[in-house]
Structure 1
C-alpha cells in the first residue's frame, strides 16, 4: 500500500496563517512592479512586433520552476509588463478601455486573497448582500422601483445573452405556453425575430447563434444621420417580418454604440416595443456612465421602461476588468433561468432567509466577488466624483469633434453623445486611396508605440477612431495626436 506523501513544514506558498510574511513580501514586490509601470511609461505601447515577443516565449520551460520571486518578477516584467498597453495615458485613445480608480485596485487585493465565490450565501455571506445592494442601487439609477433585481456578470456580451435568453423564453412561456428550459425550442422558434440597430454590438448575432436561433433571427434596422436606430425603420421592419410570417419577440436598443458612442432613441423604441408586445432590452454597456451624471443623464430618458439592461462598470465606471451586471425591471423574470441542484441550491430552501445569487446566473457557478470593487469606489468617491469624470470626457469629446471638423485635412463622420469620434486623414494631395493611407497611419502609430488609435469600416470605407474614455485627456492631447497622425506617413 502506498504511503501518503508528507508535506515538509513550514509551507510557504499556500495562503494560510503560517505564510503571512511571504504573502506580504510577494504583494509588496508586485506593487513595486505596478508602481514602476505607472511611473516609467511615457507611451502607451512598446511597439514590439509579435514575432519578436513570441521568440522570447519559446525559451520558457514550465518543467523547470524559477528559484525565487525576484526571478519570477523579472521574467513577467520582460514578457508582459514592459509590453502591456498603458490605458491610463492620454495617448491611448483606441478601444473601450478606461483608466481605473485606485479604490477598486485596493479591493482587488482583498477579492483575490479571500477568494469568495458569489454563488451561495455559505460561500460569501456579506459579499452576497454587498452585491445585492449594488444591484439595487444600479436599478434605482436606471429608474426602476424596488421590484428590480439582477446579478454581476463577466461582461456586456454575457449580459446581452441573458437579455436575449429571457426575451426568447418569456415569449414562449407567455404566448406559446411552452417551456424552452424543459422542452427545448418550439417549432415556431425558427421564425423568432429580434430587432437591433445596424450599428449594434456583434454579441447580438453571436448570442442568437449560441441559443440556436441562428444569426438569421437578428434583423438589422437602419440608422439616422447620427447612426442611431431610426424609429420609422424599426416600425417598418417589424411590420415586414410579420407579413413574412415571422414572429417578432424582442427589440434591443443601444445606449452608446461601440463605433460612434451614440444613444438610440430609447423612449421612442420603448413605445414601439410596448405597442408590439416585445421584450425590450437595452445594451448600455458603454453608455451606463450617463447614469452618473446629472448634466447628460437625459440621454438615457426611457431606459427605465426597458425589461432588462446591460451595464459594464468596467467601461464607464472606471473599474478593473471584469465588473458588469445584468438588471431586470421585474425580479420574477429571473425565475425563468433558475435551476436547482441538490448540493448547491435545493428547491426546498427558503431563499428569502438564505439567499443564493446562483439562482440569477446563467453561465457562471463559481463567480468572483467583483462587486467589492464598485463598493470601494462608491463608498470612497461617490457618484458625484465619477459623474464629474463622465462630464469631462463628454465635454472633451465634443471639443475634439469641433476641432477635427475645423481641420481642412481631416474628415469627421459624426459627433458623439459619449466619446467616440470616427474620422480619417484626407490631405489635399494623395498618392494612395484614403483607405490605404489611414490603414498605414494606424499601423505606423501602433508600432511606434507613441499613439494607439482604433479603426472601423463604414460603408466599406476605412476610418480611424478615437475612443475618449480618460478624464485626463485634454484638447491639447488631441491636438498633439492629430499632428502625429499627419506626420506618421
Structure 2
C-alpha cells in the first residue's frame, strides 16, 4: 500500500494518475451541454449506497470510471452559462493550477515550520487586500474557510473590544447587554455568529432597508440612540457590501460616521462585493469601506477562485490577539520574541490549507485588472438583464441591480391570487431544475416567493437570460393550466 503514498519514488505514478483525472474532468467540461442532468436524490443515492467501501478497486482507472457514474456525470457545473442560481463562480485556470499544487505539497498554514514560504505568501496577499481596501499601515488579517467564518471571527473581535470583562467584576458589561446591528437583508451568519458567541436571542437588531434594499441609516441612528439610552452596548454594526439576495451595498460612509459617533465597531461583510476591490470601473461603490474595523472578503465568489478562499481583514492588527492561544507543541510564546511568523496566532483554525496560493497564482498570471474586468462584465450583464425583465410584462423585477443579482417574480395577467402565483413560481423553479436546462435560485420578498438570477459567469449572455425567462414562463404557464384543469 506504500505505493499509493506521494513521495520521491511514486512521482511518476502521481503524474499519470493526476493526468488521467484531469483528462476526465476536461472531457466532461468540454461536452457538458447543460448545468445539470436533473438526477434526483432518490435515483442517485442507491448507486452510491451499493458501493462497498471495504472492497477497494485497486486501480485508478476503475475508480475514475466509477466516479463518472456517481459524481462527474451528474454534478452541478457552475461553469455552464445557464447556471444562474447561487453565489458560485466559474473558476480561473491559474487558481485551479494553484489548487493542484497546494494539494500535492499539502502545506499547513498554521505555523512557519509547516509552511515556510506559504506563510509569507499568505501575509503578502493579506497586505495587498488591506491596501486595496485602504485600512492603513496597522492592518492585518488571515485567510478563512469562507464568509461565515470570517464574520464569526470579526464579531468575536468586536465582542472582545467592547470589553465586557469578567462577569464577576463589578464594572463588567454582561454579554446580555451587547447588541449587533445589521440590516434585514444581511447574511444569516450574523445571527448564527451571535449565538456561537454566547449572546442572547435578542442580540441582533434588524435594521430596515430602503427601496434599494440598503440599510436605512436614519433607522440605524435611532436604534443606536435607543440602545445607549437603555443601557445596552452596541458592540458592532454589520454593513453589507453585496447582500446575498440583491447585491445591494449599504451606505458605508454614513454608517462609518455613526459608528464613530457611538464608538461602535464597524464590520463590513463584503463577501460578495469584494470583487469591486479589483474593478477598473466600479471601485467607487465601496467608498467608506476604508473606515471599517474589520472586513470579510470571499475570493471564491467575485474573484473567481475555487472554494475555499476567503479572508477576514482588520484595521488594527492588535485586535487579532483575541484569537491567539499558545500551545507548547505548536506556537509557544518564545516564538513571538524570536519573530517567527505563525499564522495560527491570528486564526480560529489550527490546521489550514494553503488557499492563498490560488489567489497568488491568479494575480501573478492575470493581474488584478483581469479579475476585476471579469466582475465588471457580470455586473454589466445584470444591468442588461434588468432591462429585459423591466420590459417583459410577464415579470416584476424587485430592484435595479448594483452588482450582478436579479430578483424577480412571474406575474401572469390572468391570475390575481398571490398564493397561486407563489405556487407557479415555485413549480417553475423546480421543473427547470428537474429538466437540467438551467438552474435558478429562489427567495422571499415581502413574504412572497420570487426567483433569482445570480450572475457570476462572464460567458452567460443576454440571450441565455432571455431563453431562461421563456423556460420559466413556460413551466409556470403549464402549472397554471394544469391547476385550472384540476379545478374544473
The corresponding residue for 2:160 is 169
CA contact (8 A) 2:182 2:237 kept: yes
Candidates 187, 191, 205, aligned match of 2:177? 191
Matched, 1:376 2:361: yes
- What whole-Å deviation, never above 9, does each CA across 1:92-136 have from its counterpart, x for those lacking one? 000000010000011111100100000111111100100000000
Residues in 1 aligned to 2:90 and 2:259: alpha-carbon distance in whole angstroms? 36
The corresponding residue for 1:303 is 289
The corresponding residue for 1:69 is 60
The corresponding residue for 2:483 is none
Residues in 1 aligned to 2:313 and 2:262: alpha-carbon distance in whole angstroms? 22
Q: How many residues align?
A: 473
Residues in 1 aligned to 2:75 and 2:444: alpha-carbon distance in whole angstroms? 26
Measured at CA, do residues 431 and 76 of structure 1 come closer, stay the same or move farther in structure 2, by a change above 3 Å?
farther
The corresponding residue for 2:467 is 480
Residues in 1 aligned to 2:227 and 2:149: alpha-carbon distance in whole angstroms? 27
TM-score of the aligned structures, taking structure 2 as reference length: 0.94
The corresponding residue for 1:100 is 91
- What whole-Å deviation, never above 9, does each CA across 1:199-242 have from its counterpart, x for those lacking one? 00000000100111033200000000001000001011112223
> Per the alignment, in what secondary structure is the counterpart of residue 344 of structure 1?
coil
Measured at CA, do residues 134 and 352 of structure 1 come closer, stay the same or move farther in structure 2, by a change above 3 Å?
farther
| Structure 2 gaps, min length 5 | 479-488
Candidates 136, 146, 152, aligned match of 1:145? 136
> Per the alignment, in what secondary structure is the counterpart of residue 296 of structure 2?
strand
CA contact (8 A) 1:290 1:390 kept: yes
Residues in 2 aligned to 1:275 and 1:37: alpha-carbon distance in whole angstroms? 56
> Per the alignment, in what secondary structure is the counterpart of residue 162 of structure 2?
helix
Q: CA deviation at 1:274?
A: 0.5
The corresponding residue for 2:458 is 471
Residues in 2 aligned to 1:351 and 1:383: alpha-carbon distance in whole angstroms? 36
Q: CA deviation at 1:304?
A: 0.3
Candidates 260, 280, 283, aligned match of 2:246? 260
> Per the alignment, in what secondary structure is the counterpart of residue 283 of structure 1?
strand
Residues in 2 aligned to 1:126 and 1:437: alpha-carbon distance in whole angstroms? 55
TM-score of the aligned structures, taking structure 1 as reference length: 0.94
Residues in 2 aligned to 1:186 and 1:13: alpha-carbon distance in whole angstroms? 57
Residues in 1 aligned to 2:338 and 2:144: alpha-carbon distance in whole angstroms? 22
The corresponding residue for 1:4 is none
> Per the alignment, in what secondary structure is the counterpart of residue 350 of structure 1?
helix
- What whole-Å deviation, never above 9, does each CA across 1:162-218 have from its counterpart, x for those lacking one? 11000000111xxx5x268x99x9562101101000000000000100111033200
CA contact (8 A) 1:118 1:124 kept: yes
Measured at CA, do residues 293 and 471 of structure 1 come closer, stay the same or move farther in structure 2, by a change above 3 Å?
same
Q: CA deviation at 1:372?
A: 0.3
| Structure 1 gaps, min length 5 | 1-6
Measured at CA, do residues 56 and 191 of structure 1 come closer, stay the same or move farther in structure 2, by a change above 3 Å?
same
Residues in 2 aligned to 1:265 and 1:431: alpha-carbon distance in whole angstroms? 36
Candidates 381, 404, 425, aligned match of 1:419? 404
Q: CA deviation at 1:21?
A: 1.9
Measured at CA, do residues 439 and 351 of structure 1 come closer, stay the same or move farther in structure 2, by a change above 3 Å?
farther
Q: CA deviation at 1:351?
A: 5.7
> Per the alignment, in what secondary structure is the counterpart of residue 441 of structure 2?
strand
Considering only aligned residues, what root-mean-square deviation do their CA atoms show, in Å? 1.6
Matched, 1:358 2:344: yes
CA contact (8 A) 1:206 1:215 kept: no
Deviates more, 1:346-355 or 1:377-386: 346-355
Deviates more, 1:186-195 or 1:365-374: 186-195
Residues in 2 aligned to 1:139 and 1:45: alpha-carbon distance in whole angstroms? 38
The corresponding residue for 1:394 is 379
Q: CA deviation at 1:267?
A: 0.7
Matched, 1:43 2:34: yes
CA contact (8 A) 1:169 1:179 kept: no
The corresponding residue for 2:231 is 245
- What whole-Å deviation, never above 9, does each CA across 1:423-458 have from its counterpart, x for those lacking one? 011121239711010000000000000010000001
Q: CA deviation at 1:352?
A: 6.5
Matched, 1:78 2:69: yes
Candidates 258, 264, 267, aligned match of 1:281? 267
Q: CA deviation at 1:261?
A: 0.5
CA contact (8 A) 1:46 1:449 kept: yes
Measured at CA, do residues 245 and 46 of structure 1 come closer, stay the same or move farther in structure 2, by a change above 3 Å?
same
Residues in 2 aligned to 1:358 and 1:215: alpha-carbon distance in whole angstroms? 31
Residues in 2 aligned to 1:152 and 1:187: alpha-carbon distance in whole angstroms? 31
Residues in 2 aligned to 1:151 and 1:105: alpha-carbon distance in whole angstroms? 21
> Per the alignment, in what secondary structure is the counterpart of residue 12 of structure 1?
helix
> Per the alignment, in what secondary structure is the counterpart of residue 351 of structure 2?
coil
